[in-house]
DNA sequence: CCATGATCATTA
DNA sequence: TAATGATCATGG
């Protein structure tokens, strides 16, 4: 397997800016709507192929970046995030034992490669790649501190009230939302709120 | 309207 | 069956 450094991944991805991701689906053998229902992940899966990687879905060793895509709506002359962004699933045991700066949540955030994709409506096959960026959190020291506060708040709530008490209402920048296979499965994941997504988009480098 | 909570397709 | 990529859809 090929290991691509983060900087190169950004360069490789940037070449696709302006392209419609639907045109890349066939080349990279990503399933989208073939089964009459949308594979909600298809945009993300296409993007993961583009830097020249064979496999990024499990964040293999040696990989120093995290590729994320978010849909953006156009309005009032600017783009705003349509949705929050999933960061990583929460393992309750790890959360209790891990400090923020050692957490999987932070390691993913700090190494993010952020892909903004144009939103064209529900179940649309069109998805133009707007912008590929990285984000330097160290240029925004206060933001890190505030995200850490959210992390610690969620961590304390887990300790005091239990895993099930975690809700998407918690946190200023990141939240602990439900996530899973549905039908009663109990899972929580860190999500970046829209405000954080927008901040990454606007202040990206 | 929007955010939260629920759910989906795919892969390993 | 759980993890990962996310979007859907209902309630407030």
Within 10 Å of residue A81's Cβ, how many Cβ atoms?
Answer: 22
Residues 186-205 of A with CB under 7 A from strand B: 187, 193-194
Nucleotide nearest to A119 (CA to C1'): C7
Asked whether strand B has any atom less than 7 Å from the CB of A60, the reply is: no
Nucleotide nearest to A85 (CA to C1'): C6
Bigger pLDDT: A57 or A145? A145
- pLDDT at A196 exceeding the cut of 90: yes
Element (H, E) at A191: strand A188-192
Asked whether strand C has any atom less than 7 Å from the CB of A39, the reply is: yes
CA→C1' distance for A75 and C4 (Å): 30
User: What pLDDT is stored for residue A91 in this prediction?
Assistant: 87
- pLDDT at A1 exceeding the cut of 60: no
Contact call for residues A132 and A115 (beta carbons, < 8 A)? yes
Digit-coded pLDDT (tens) for A123-139: 888 999 999 988 888 88
Tell whether pTM > 0.85: yes
Contact call for residues A70 and A59 (beta carbons, < 8 A)? no
Element (H, E) at A147: helix A141-161
Bigger pLDDT: A141 or A91? A91
Strand B bases with any atom < 7 A from protein Cβ: 3-12
**For residue A45, what are its two tokens?**
């899966």
- Domains, chain A, in order of start with CATH, read 6-202 (3.40.600.10)
If pLDDT is split at 50, 70 and 90, which confidence band does A205 have? low
CA-based radius of gyration for chain A? 17
Mean pLDDT, all residues of chain A: 84
Asked whether strand C has any atom less than 7 Å from the CB of A187, the reply is: yes
Digit-coded pLDDT (tens) for A114-123: 999 999 988 8
User: What pLDDT is stored for residue A45 in this prediction?
Assistant: 86
User: What pLDDT is stored for residue A63 in this prediction?
Assistant: 58
User: What pLDDT is stored for residue A157 in this prediction?
Assistant: 93
Digit-coded pLDDT (tens) for A146-189: 999 999 999 999 999 988 899 989 999 999 999 977 666 788 99
Q: How many CA atoms lie within 13 A of A138 on its CB side?
A: 2
Digit-coded pLDDT (tens) for A19-71: 999 988 888 888 887 666 788 888 888 888 887 654 444 444 445 788 888 99
Asked whether strand B has any atom less than 7 Å from the CB of A92, the reply is: no
Contact call for residues A105 and A59 (beta carbons, < 8 A)? no
User: What pLDDT is stored for residue A104 in this prediction?
Assistant: 87
User: What pLDDT is stored for residue A52 in this prediction?
Assistant: 65
- pLDDT at A78 exceeding the cut of 50: yes
- pLDDT at A112 exceeding the cut of 70: yes
Q: Whose CA is nearest the C1' atom of nucleotide B10?
A: A39
């Amino acid at each position: 397997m090929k290991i691509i450094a983060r900087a190169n991944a950004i360069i490789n991805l940037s070449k696709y800016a302006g392209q419609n991701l639907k045109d890349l689906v066939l080349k990279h053998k990503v399933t989208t709507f073939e089964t009459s229902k949308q594979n909600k992940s298809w945009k993300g899966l296409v993007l993961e192929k583009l830097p020249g990687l064979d496999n990024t879905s499990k964040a293999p060793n040696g990989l120093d970046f995290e590729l994320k895509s978010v849909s953006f709506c156009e309005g009032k002359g600017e783009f705003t995030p349509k949705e929050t962004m999933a960061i990583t699933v929460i393992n309750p045991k790890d959360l209790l034992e891990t400090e923020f700066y050692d957490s999987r949540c932070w390691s993913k955030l700090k190494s993010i490669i952020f892909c903004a994709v144009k939103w064209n409506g529900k179940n649309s096959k069109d998805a133009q790649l707007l912008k590929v960026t990285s984000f330097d959190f160290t240029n925004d020291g206060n933001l890190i501190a505030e995200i850490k506060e959210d992390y610690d708040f969620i961590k304390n709530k887990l300790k005091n009230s239990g895993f099930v008490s975690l809700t998407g209402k918690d946190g200023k920048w990141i939240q602990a939302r439900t996530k899973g296979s549905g039908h009663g499965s109990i899972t929580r994941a860190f999500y970046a709120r829209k405000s954080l997504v927008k901040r990454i988009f606007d202040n990206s480098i």
